[in-house]
Amino acid sequence: MQPLPKLDLQHKVSAEEWQLRLDLAACYRLAEHHRWGDLIYTHLSARLAGTDHYLVNAFGLTFDEVTASNLVKVDLAGNILDDTPFQINPAGFTIHSAIHEVRPDAHCVIHLHTKETIAVASQQHGLLPLSQYSLFSLGSLAYHQYEGLAVNQNEKARLQSDLGQCNHMLLVNHGGLTVGPTVGDAFMRFYDLQRACEIQLALQASGQPVIPVPQPIVDNISQQAKVVHSGSTGGKLAWPAMLRKAYRLDPGFAQ
């Protein structure tokens, strides 16, 4: 077994880029901790402020092998921009590049194949208003129909149109996706979406009658969610706590 190449970019990139690398690498480790990974597949990407450059995981690494230094910098076409021994999965970056292309506010895109998001996305009625967690997503939730493996460039326009200005998406038969202005915001949104799907499946498995959230509350939730999951009560407060947790789990991501 060959060890992974050791890279150290901390003093070779700007302070802003290094912080983004830390945040994104931590997010990969937290996704692994929550058991959201899919072997070497699925991706989290983040845009470098003021550029059309993006960070994404190296193809062939598991999430618990991702570090700040081995994240790969690419452009929207997936061309590698830095000196690295690693490659990326061009097909895996298709979905991310499609969103980054049209959503300048979506600095971070998280797309994962968790069994719960796939299961709910594959149900005829999708995500139902059965829990408080579901409401955070339902206030800004889109769906994209399955078109096979994401290698068809023509699919990008349909994906972009389906997402629109939403921040959560269920890809039918495929998985979940969230976007955010920061890594922390995208992470918190995926956490909510994942929990909503877990709770829905648990309720359905119970076989007991459920009490749906009344529609007037569902209709008003987007305004409430903006209060709960933005500013000091959203990613700005929750993400530093998650970053501290990532350091406790394994500080090696910060290399």
Q: Report pLDDT digits (tens) over 138-182.
A: 989 999 998 877 667 778 889 999 999 999 999 999 999 999 999
149 vs 218, residue with greater confidence: 218
Confidence of residue 233 (pLDDT cuts 50, 70, 90): low
pTM equals: 0.90
**Residue 6: inside a domain, yes or no?**
no
User: Scanning the structure block, which residue is given the tokens 């350091």?
Assistant: 247
The CATH number linked to 143 is 3.40.225.10
The residues facing 73 across adjacent strands are 55
Please report, as a single letter, which amino acid is at residue 28: Y
User: From CA 135, how far away is CA 193, in angstroms rounded?
Assistant: 9
**Residue 176: inside a domain, yes or no?**
yes
User: From CA 141, how far away is CA 41, in angstroms rounded?
Assistant: 24
**Residue 156: inside a domain, yes or no?**
yes
**Residue 4: inside a domain, yes or no?**
no
The radius of gyration computed from the CA coordinates of the chain, to the nearest angstrom, equals: 18
Structural domain total, the chain: 1
Identify the domain containing residue 187 by its residue range. Answer: 15-245
What pLDDT, on the 0 to 100 scale, is given for residue 228? 56
Confidence of residue 221 (pLDDT cuts 50, 70, 90): confident
**Residue 103: inside a domain, yes or no?**
yes
Q: What is the mean pLDDT of the chain?
A: 90
String of DSSP letters for 73-135: EE-TT--B-S--S----HHHHHHHHHHHHH-TT--EEEEE--HHHHHHHTSTT-S-S-SHHHH
**Residue 113: inside a domain, yes or no?**
yes
**Residue 10: inside a domain, yes or no?**
no
**Residue 5: inside a domain, yes or no?**
no
